[in-house]
Amino acid sequence: MLEMNKGAEIFMDAMSENTAAAAQTEKIVFDEAFMLHHRTVFRAARSVVRDSGLAEDVTQEVFLRLHRHIDSIDNLEMLRPWLIRVALNLAKNTLRTKFRANTREENYVKDTDDGGTFSVESDFEQREAVNEVNRALNKIKEPLRSCLILRQQGLSYREIAESLSLNETSIGQFVARGRKEFVRLYGKIGRDG
């Protein structure tokens, strides 16, 4: 009887070690995913919401969802596109909620009170250049805009296609048309300004 108890103890110890090792492996996968993809997810979210604070909120929600659904992701190769797709969807939902809550006035006040006057002319010129780029990007229709931004962030055509639920063979054409449209609109803004 003592031998069975001792055998059961050994079996239980082995099971608990396996369980602990499996839990550690899962945690490492999540931690690695967070370290590898945090910046990409943040940039994708910021490209939609155009606010670093909101983008960080979206990024946190994306990784909370990853943590909840980490077992359902079988192909680690498709993790990055999955994260980007979730980030883009959450960012779009955030914008819808923001507009429904009628916070446009708050954003206007925040944008006008951002830094007051600049003491250096180059800071003003740099900010104006960024504003011109954003105005041009805002005028580009979807999915050209999203394809252009994601390609600029270094994603492959396959990752862009997965993230936006588009046909991979169309991505190159969307990126090229997005670039052409951006150049046209950016030049027009420069002439109008």
pLDDT in tens, 166-187: 999 999 999 999 999 988 888 7
Residue 117's φ and ψ, nearest 5 degrees, are: -90, 150
Question: Architecture of domain 121-193 in CATH?
Answer: Orthogonal Bundle (1.10)
SS3 assignment, position 111: helix
C-alpha triplet 21, 26, 29: angle, nearest 5°? 125
How do the domains of the chain map onto residue ranges?
1-102, 121-193
**Nearest in space to 58 (alpha carbons), one of 28, 11, 92:** 92
What's the pLDDT band for 24 if we cut at 50, 70, 90? very low
pLDDT of residue 30 exceeding 80: yes
pTM, 2 dp? 0.49
DSSP per residue, 134-166: HHHHHHSPTTHHHHHHHHHTT--HHHHHHHHT-
Single-letter code of the amino acid located at 102: N
Residue-averaged pLDDT of the chain: 78
State percent of the chain over pLDDT 70: 71
Q: Which residue has the higher pLDDT, 78 or 190?
A: 78
pLDDT digit string (tens) for 73-95?
A: 878 888 899 999 999 999 988 88
Q: Which one-letter amino acid corresponds to residue 143?
A: P
Quote the CA–CA distance of 89 and 103 in Å, as a whole number: 20
Per CATH, 1-102 and 121-193 having the same topology is answered: no
Number of other residues whose CB lies within 10 A of the CB of residue 57:
16
DSSP string, 23-42: HHHHHHHHHHHHHHHHHHHH
pLDDT in tens, 124-144: 778 888 888 888 888 889 898
CATH of range 1-102; options 2.60.40.10, 1.10.150.20, 3.40.1390.10, 1.10.1740.10 = 1.10.1740.10
**164 close to 88: Cβ distance less than 8 angstroms:** yes
Rg over CA atoms, the chain: 23
